[in-house]
A and B are shown apart, each in its own frame.
Chain A
């Protein structure tokens, strides 16, 4: 049965994505880490679809559509911020920060 290894691999991939979001400052790399987390969840869906029915595979389809939309809009936002600040580092995005 491939369910247990698939869930283990997907847990590790999700954790790596979270760690990447926590310790990087480059907005684009953080965005890639979010994609990594989405892929870890997709792996879980596909693994469970083997025993729980095809609904899981259909959901992966929707996750991919949402991820594509998110990537297009998110990268457009990063482009707009870069035009404004000449940087994509999250350190420089502190307009709401006190002082």
Chain B
């Protein structure tokens, strides 16, 4: 049952991604990407990452995609015009390289993990029962990963300043 639901959302995600990269209109592309991001959030729930699923909807489907749509509409790119998709040669090269990459990635699906480094099945739900769904992510985040967390906050500050400096006409 879980596997069926997983594949349903996986197929929606892959279909949304395919439509996202093939639509001529950037707004249509952005909205299909939102469909993909929502189905990835559903996949996160099925993979015991409920907190990240919420973050995926809030940060990706909410904030980042609104930013994309805002810029597309600010630059008035939604109007019909010539397609930005490359001609037969570019398309052929892209399909060829994509097929080659998929062929190279295909052994990944046959991965078997060493039993010495894997946790027993059901240990993540047990941890979430014990510490709470948010706590299970927060404990390593504010413990072992505290320094990277602080560096990420500096990065976000730099990004805010950088975006303002780049987008402003005159400082």
Contacts and interface: CB of A to CB of B under 8 A. Distances in A.
Interface of A: 2-9, 11-20, 22-26, 28-29, 31-33, 35-36, 39, 42-43, 46-47, 49-55, 57-58, 60-62, 64-73, 75-80, 82-83, 88-89
B96 to A, nearest CB: 9
B109 A25 contact: no
Contacts of B37: 39
A75 B67 contact: yes
B40 A58 contact: no
12 contacts: A6-B6, A16-B18, A17-B21, A22-B97, A23-B21, A29-B84, A39-B60, A42-B56, A49-B47, A54-B137, A68-B156, A73-B159
A11 B60 contact: no
A53 B156 contact: no
Given A53-B119, A65-B152, A82 B26 contact: no
A72 B84 contact: no
B167 interface: yes
Given A9-B13, A26-B84, A83-B169, 16 more contacts: A6-B43, A7-B108, A9-B10, A9-B14, A11-B106, A16-B14, A19-B94, A22-B90, A22-B93, A23-B91, A24-B84, A32-B29, A46-B47, A65-B156, A70-B159, A72-B162
A57 B124 CA distance: 11
Contacts, number: 230
A26 B44 CA distance: 30
A13 B139 CA distance: 30
Contact of A25 (B86, B97, B166): B86
Contact of A88 (B17, B63, B77, B101): B77
Nearest to A48: B113
B68 A36 contact: no
Given A6-B47, A51-B113, A73-B163, A39 B137 contact: no
A12 B7 contact: no
B110 to A, nearest CB: 8
A62 to B, nearest CB: 6
Contacts of B98: 15-16, 18-19, 22
Contacts of B108: 7-8, 11
